[in-house]
Amino acid sequence: MKERYIKQVEKELALPGKAKKEIARDLNEVFASALEHGETEQQVIQRLGTPKEFADGAAEQFGVDNTAAKKRKDRIYALAACIIAVAALSIYAIAGVRRGPAGAIGQADAATNIQVVGTFDVLQIILAAGIAAALVAILLTIRSISKNRR
């Protein structure tokens, strides 16, 4: 329970490794001291608060807004997913236009047909990737909006 608590705090901390290590050491001491005085790990955890509460409280004192740092990370991921989605969908659109509508004059000879089929597969993958990235972007955005409301 103690190890899990400390690990979770470390996970929640948006701080440089050195500060994280120090906080983990302090938490180890907190647990060890309390156990030495006959307290249970559960009692100590009650006094520490949830891992997130403790991490946010500690990070704030180091001049870092933990929640904001995490939000920033989420936003960067959402932006990256957005860029990938736009890139993939535009490649799909441009390639689709270049290919021309199916059955257009001049596209009907056998050699072209084979090529078109090949291109189509790659394009499908790109389209799927684009849609997936768009979904990820939308999910991340929804998550960060609902977090902001909380």
Partner 1 sequence: MYMNSRYVQQFKKGSLEMILLCLIGRKETYGYEIITELNNSASVLGYAKEGTIYPILYRLQEAELIKCRLAPAAANGGSKKYYALTDKGKDVLRELILFWESYANCVNGFIASYQQAEVSE
Question: DSSP state, 15?
Answer: S
Of residues 50 through 89, those in contact with partner 1 by CB under 8 A are 53-54, 57-58, 60-63
Shortest Cβ distance from residue 119 to partner 1 (Å)?
59
In 3D, which of 121, 132, 120 has the Cα closest to residue 89? 132
Rounded to the nearest 10 degrees, the angle between the axes of helix 51-61 and helix 2-12 is: 50
Nearer residue to partner 1 within complex by CB, 45 or 81: 45
Spell out, one character per residue from 11 to 50, where the chain touches partner 1: x when CB under 8 A holds, - when not: ------------x-xx-xxxxxxx-xx------x--xxx-
Cα 105 from Cα 94, distance rounded (Å): 19
Nearer residue to partner 1 within complex by CB, 37 or 98: 37
Contact 15, 59 (CB under 8 A): yes
- Enumerate binding residues for partner 1 (CB under 8 A): 23, 25-26, 28-34, 36-37, 44, 47-49, 53-54, 57-58, 60-63
